[in-house]
Structure 1
Amino acid sequence: MERVMLDVDLAMGAPGSDVDDGFALALALADPDISLELVTTVNGNTDVASATTLTLELLHRLGHPEVPVHRGAQLPLLRPQAKFGSVPDDVVAREPQATPAAAAMVEHVRANPGEITLVAVGPLTNVALAMRLDHTFAASLKRLVIMGGVFSKPTNETRMPGEFNIWNDPEAAEIVLGSGIVAQWVGLDVTLKVRVTMAEARAMAASDHEFAAFAGRYTVAWIEHLSSRRPEQADSCAMHDPLAVAAVTHPELITWQDAYVQVETGDRLRGAMIADPLTGGWAPDGKTQKLQPNASIAVDVDAAGFTRFFMDKLKEL
């Protein structure tokens, strides 16, 4: 059994918002090999207050109101921007736990050294703060799985050179990369290959199953939102965050490669990541040096295998 903390910027349940983080939370609860012990929230897909309210609401919908939720950072470490979202009027505003997210992370890992896997599917602000609060935090984790980054190609977008989670708080990503833990990074190189189609979303929306119907409605709305921005991508949406959760108990679905990764924190290429696969030892000063990996990056995925696992588990909720 994998004991898991899940750090989310959850927006499922708000009209026109991304839904993959909600599916990630659902999958963490549905997987019998995961014990979800703690959920923390962070600014990202929506503001942290909305993410917290929507996370508590979804846990109640899924029949797990006992899972503690801790509200985290409302802003990136150094950047003033924050995304603001909304919560439907009929959603109950429940109170999270009193301890801030980063402190709760540190306390839980201190109490259970070497036993907790942290899965971070939003910007890495909370994770970086935990590492700054306690210099032993990273080393005391069992594993760190991150949904973030893109390593084999650029985004080709000047407004967002890096993948969103990393672009949102590149300084936090830099702290994580320098922490000493070799995290598993599940980036756009693989997450864009695992998708829910409009037909599948409509089938979920028509289901008699309460969560499937709820999630299906919001997935249809999200695909329609994507279609309004990019008509060529009108038929599906990517399941970025659930793939990171699946990697906890089924790492064989993903092909991994050790790498030395650096992140750009300047404005021009903010959030872009450079991944050295460690096939050579050349350094800019002309000398050779042996670099040690600071990341394990996902380079390929068994998309069909993931889809089977994902859909089967959701049916069991």
Structure 2
Amino acid sequence: MAKKLIIDTDCGIDDAQAIMMALAAPDVEILGITCVFGNAAVENVCQNVLKVLSVCDREGIPVFRGSAGPLVGASNAVSDHFGTDGLGDVLKDKDPLWEKKIQREHAVNAMIRLVSENQNQVSLVALGPLTNLALAVRLDPCFPQKLRDLYIMGGNVEGKGNVTLCAEFNFAMDPESAYVVLEEFFCPTYITSWESACRNSLTWEFFEELINQDAPAARFMKTITAECWAYSRESMRNKRDVYFGPGFVSYDAYAMAACVDSSVVTESIESAVRVELQGSIARGMMAVDRTNQLKKSHNVFIMTKCDRAKFSQLLLKSLRQPCKKS
């Protein structure tokens, strides 16, 4: 039976890669894609998702507009990690009719409805700030127990941050929502932290092989990464490489790979976690409680190692879309 997915995304370049991985996966049915602010304003996120679906010839999948800012307080400045539009600021052929292609139903309502219609069958893959998920549990407190499982790309386990000194981007953009989700979602929860993605990096030579495949999706990925500093090995020498050494990292794709093929994850930590909401340095950091000081009843699974050969094959396959029709 096909695995049912909802993808919640702030569609930057690595989200696009993760979405294409789900599209290419056998026995996966994407019920809908919900959009949230993060890598770009939510209006750009919606357009980015529509573009990815168009490139892969899968425009029948419904796309829903969700939260435009965090649960509490003013919106943080949107990162330029993947360009101001989330896809490298290189696409000129913007769709003037994009709003007509977005579903009228709000993303959070759609999420609740789709999960309620398919109880204990839906895997929710969260690739951006967790605002839509936090709102879902506020509107329907039973929402988490109706899920099959939850996969999150976000958080950090070593206190190494990529947007602040101690916090990872997705959690830092909306710490309150990350706190709510990790306190109130008791379904099986699998987290790919920033550090775990970085520690399972691939080579830049593989990245060149990946984007130079002869297929529309690969050509699209080559275009949107061409001028993006986040896909420049030179830029990374002064950023990520300081902590983890050189390598190509497609963050969100690790969480998606864990969902579509659980054998990709070869080692993980099972532990209680809590998101820190206070402090000028640690706000948004995910604390890992391996000594049970918090006395929580619910643990999560945090990926530490993956099968890089299997992961590489999933990436390669994801960019061979749409399949040529014979």
| 2:305 corresponds to 1:304 | no
Q: What are the within-5 Å matches in structure 2 for residues 104-123 of structure 1?
A: 104-123=110-129
Is 1:7 aligned to residue 15 of structure 2?
A: no
Give the match's secondary structure for 2:199. Answer: coil
Structure 2: unaligned runs, 5 residues or longer: none
SS at match of 2:315: helix
- The 1-side partners of 2:296 and 2:210 are apart by 47
Q: Does residue 64 of structure 1 match 2:58? A: yes
Cross-structure match for 1:258: 270
Q: Which amino acid is 1:9 matched to? A: D
- Residue 74 of structure 1 contacts residue 82 of structure 1 at CA under 8 Å; is this kept in 2? no
Which letter does structure 2 place at the counterpart of 1:45? Answer: N
Once the two structures are superposed, residues 258-282 of structure 1 have per-residue CA deviations (whole angstroms, 9 ceiling, x without a partner) of: 21101111241111111112xx455
Deviates more, 1:116-125 or 1:90-99: 90-99
Q: 1:126 maps to what in 2?
A: 132
Q: 1:48 touches 1:72 (CA, 8 Å); kept in 2?
A: yes
- How many matched pairs? 301
Following superposition, the deviation at residue 313 of structure 1 comes to: 4.2
Q: CA deviation at 1:89?
A: 3.5
1:281/1:138 Cα in 2 relative to 1: closer, same or farther (>3 Å)?
closer
Render the CA deviation track for 1:50-105: whole Å, top value 9, x for unaligned: 01011111111110110000011110111312417336441214121011111110
- Displacement of 1:205 in angstroms is 4.6
Q: Please say if residues 155 and 162 of structure 1, whose CA atoms lie closer than 8 Å, have aligned partners that are also in contact.
A: yes
8 Å CA contact 2:9, 2:15 repeated in 1 = yes
Alpha-carbon distance in 1 for matches of 2:95, 2:299: 42
Question: Is the partner of 1:178 in helix, strand or coil?
Answer: helix
The one-letter code matched in structure 2 to 1:292 is S
1:167 and 2:172 aligned: yes
Q: TM-score by structure 2 length? A: 0.84
Q: Counterpart of 1:91?
A: 94
Q: Aligned residues: percent identity?
A: 28
The structural deviation recorded for 1:126 is 0.6
| Residue of structure 2 in register with 1:246 after alignment | 257
- Alpha-carbon distance in 2 for matches of 1:183, 1:174: 14
Q: Which amino acid is 2:304 matched to?
A: V
Residue 128 of structure 1 and its aligned partner are, at CA, apart by 0.6
1:9–1:122: 8 Å Cα contact kept in structure 2? Answer: yes
Residue 196 of structure 1 and its aligned partner are, at CA, apart by 5.3
The separation in 1 between residues aligned to 2:162 and 2:254, in whole angstroms, is: 24
Q: Residues 168 and 146 (structure 1 numbering): CA distance in 2 closer, same or farther, change over 3 Å? A: same
Q: Structure 1: where are the runs of 5+ without partners?
A: 12-18, 284-289
Map residues 137-156 of structure 1 onto 2, 5 A cutoff. 137-151=143-157, 153-155=158-160
State the shift of 1:165 in Å.
Answer: 0.5
Please tell me whether the aligned partners of residues 10 and 21 of structure 1 are also in contact (alpha carbons under 8 angstroms). Answer: yes
In structure 2, what is the equivalent of residue 276 of structure 1? 289
Amino acid paired to 1:209: A
Amino acid across the alignment from 2:93: D
In 1: Cα distance, 2:192 partner to 2:3 partner: 18
**8 Å Cα contact 2:153-2:192 kept in structure 1:** yes
Displacement after TM superposition at 1:249 (Å): 2.7
**1:286 corresponds to:** none
Match of 2:193 among 161, 165, 187: 187
Cα deviation, residue 314, structure 1? 3.1
14, 17, 32: which one pairs with 1:38?
Answer: 32
Contact kept, 8 Å, 2:271 with 2:300, in 1: the verdict is yes
Change (3 A) 1:198 1:293: same
- Cα RMSD (Å) of the superposition? 2.4
Q: Structure 1 residue 220: deviation in Å?
A: 3.5
Counterparts in 2 of 1:59 and 1:198: CA distance versus 1, 3 Å: same
State the SS of the aligned residue for 2:319.
helix
Q: Distance in 2 between matches of 1:89 and 1:136?
A: 43
Instruction: Output the amino acid matched with 2:286.
Output: M
- 1:49 counterpart (34, 43, 52): 43
